[in-house]
Structure 1
């Protein structure tokens, strides 16, 4: 009945039950928390398993071959980054690639790499910032006698080329395909609304840097393999990237 009050005994019983439920829930959370990071395969063992196993698995997880992964690690060391505290560079880079390539949330990365959420965030943010703010100046730039292909709305100026014939206009479709493949490969680009504008910009540039780095080094590796075997190697990360251009920030 509406307005009916509980008797003192029933009120006390209800409070006791509620208290026991809260305490039980709290104990359950604490118990579950202690079991979060008990994966029998340690984080570094998992990385080595991916890098030394089937090459397709490495490309699926890290979006690059194991050889290029090692080259990227060496390049980051040349820029002065060797990981933070007890987390090595390889692990720091692997976490970043999983986040960027698969758009995995922080909790999923915690479970995979057996780290706290704060550690995951710190390492991913550090690597993304290094890629976007430092490496980008060397990776994303126009080569000599190269131009940005822009829309006709842009004025003719140094470094910009507006389409003025059919051949130039046809390049636009190549660029669109390149950006389509880029967004498909780095799934975080499809869902960045949760990040602030500055972070979104860094993520975009960081994935451009990685994409151009992978493509350039896969081409070099193919040339070296071809020379060593006396033929043309058909194994390349490029795959359906053949005929596409490097990504540049100046795209409209």
Structure 2
């Protein structure tokens, strides 16, 4: 090949190269323009979250629609909104009022919808959804500090459930509540999962709670890793003054299951004897004073299992926690318990509570409770509690 032909080929290659460069540059500018220069608005639906909420709040709309979406009736929703505003300082923004903020928060908790679905339903950006959820979450947790505690720390009155039932009165007249734990699915980094994976094979947080006999939570300690034993959490709770545990006054006591120790003020069942209500329902009538006591004990203590059942049935987020920071996951547990108490005290006829009031056996066993039973040492039973247990059993 002569020099002229080689020069022509070189010039041709150089021209093709520059054509490719120009094409690539043009394509790059076009892509940049489509992303940053000519951005098409995303949340443009005229049926905004505010419009949707207002439709559901209209008195002509079937109230069941509102209840299903926000897990409480309209009256309770309005009362809750007013309390959060007047007592806890919740404020709307320039474009979003408090009603929509609360509706968004309850819809996410009740149906465990992700951020993208919330964006589409409420027509706000992902950043706005996340910010509003966190804002309401903090206010509801603040409210929980006042709601999740006994109304009377001296426990002077005998609970109605006991006072009005000859099965329990007067034998259990000094009983003030029940203690139990439950496990909530948790999302944690891989490096920390070993501490959180318990018997169910998935990461969970172990939550200890105290419940009165109206299915209201009077104490909660959330955030423990799933492998933490109930006994360890229990002793931490009752021994640390900063945790403000509602200790039973002298002569009063809580009911605990066989997985807990029985120091003074905490009464457990007889071990190695039938205990759970389904065991008595499927089998013969109780024989002997120990089985008679255990059936009565289980019937009373199952109040907290029913409370856990209502809590998880109402707030689906507790069945599959999103990948929030762990501290936020703990706050969600506390917030749902605060809402649980608020609804119990303010709703005239809440659907979830009504079902369990009509059928006391509906949640007698918490299906997500993986706490082991029978692991506490028999040496952890105080002599006075052992005597009290025998006395009640003989009277029964």
Structure 1 length normalisation: TM-score? 0.74
Seen in structure 2, the aligned counterparts of structure 1 residues 46 and 147 have a Cα distance that, compared at 3 Å, is same
**How many Å apart are 1:94 and its aligned residue?**
0.8
1:162 equivalent in structure 2: 268
Structure 2 length normalisation: TM-score? 0.50
3-state SS in 2 of match to 1:238? helix
3-state SS in 2 of match to 1:146? strand
Q: Given the alignment, which residue of 294, 316, 341 partners 1:187?
A: 316
Within 1, Cα distance between the matches of 2:50 and 2:333? 27
Q: Given the alignment, which residue of 56, 70, 73 partners 1:65?
A: 73
Name the structure where helix makes up a greater proportion of residues: 1
Q: Given the alignment, which residue of 91, 96, 99 partners 1:83?
A: 91
Within 1, Cα distance between the matches of 2:66 and 2:38? 31
Seen in structure 2, the aligned counterparts of structure 1 residues 179 and 20 have a Cα distance that, compared at 3 Å, is farther
RMSD of aligned Cα (Å)? 3.0
Q: Structure 1 unaligned runs (5+)?
A: 1-6, 223-234, 246-251
Seen in structure 2, the aligned counterparts of structure 1 residues 141 and 115 have a Cα distance that, compared at 3 Å, is same
Alpha-carbon deviations, 1:69-112, whole Å to 9, x = none? 11111221232324243222111111111111122222322222
On the 8 A contact 1:215/1:237 being kept in 2, the answer is no
Within 1, Cα distance between the matches of 2:111 and 2:28? 36
On the 8 A contact 2:90/2:139 being kept in 1, the answer is no
Choose 35-44 or 142-151, whichever is displaced more: 142-151
Query: What does 1:218-229 align with in structure 2 at a 5 Å threshold?
Result: 218=347, 221-222=348-349
2:101 equivalent in structure 1: 92
On the 8 A contact 1:83/1:92 being kept in 2, the answer is no
Q: Given the alignment, which residue of 293, 316, 326 partners 1:197?
A: 326
2:219 equivalent in structure 1: none
Name the structure where strand makes up a greater proportion of residues: 2
Query: What does 1:1-252 align with in structure 2 at a 5 Å threshold?
Result: 12=18, 18-30=24-36, 34-52=40-58, 53-86=61-94, 87-132=96-141, 134-143=142-151, 144=155, 146-149=176-179, 150-157=256-263, 160-164=266-270, 165-171=294-300, 173=302, 175-192=304-321, 194-218=323-347, 221-222=348-349, 236=351, 238-242=353-357, 243=360
**How many Å apart are 1:31 and its aligned residue?**
8.1
Seen in structure 2, the aligned counterparts of structure 1 residues 179 and 32 have a Cα distance that, compared at 3 Å, is farther
Within 2, Cα distance between the matches of 1:31 and 1:172? 64
Within 2, Cα distance between the matches of 1:113 and 1:71? 22
Runs of at least 4 residues of structure 1 off by over 6 A? none
On the 8 A contact 1:95/1:113 being kept in 2, the answer is yes
On the 8 A contact 1:95/1:124 being kept in 2, the answer is yes
Seen in structure 2, the aligned counterparts of structure 1 residues 185 and 25 have a Cα distance that, compared at 3 Å, is farther
Choose 121-130 or 64-73, whichever is displaced more: 121-130
Q: Structure 2 unaligned runs (5+)?
A: 1-12, 156-174, 180-255, 271-293, 365-370, 372-396
Seen in structure 2, the aligned counterparts of structure 1 residues 17 and 189 have a Cα distance that, compared at 3 Å, is farther
Choose 7-16 or 183-192, whichever is displaced more: 7-16
Seen in structure 2, the aligned counterparts of structure 1 residues 28 and 191 have a Cα distance that, compared at 3 Å, is farther
On the 8 A contact 1:36/1:111 being kept in 2, the answer is no
Alpha-carbon deviations, 1:127-160, whole Å to 9, x = none? 111222x211222223536223333242335764
3-state SS in 2 of match to 1:147? strand
On the 8 A contact 1:131/1:209 being kept in 2, the answer is yes
**How many Å apart are 1:34 and its aligned residue?**
3.5
**How many Å apart are 1:22 and its aligned residue?**
4.6
**Rg bigger for which structure?**
2
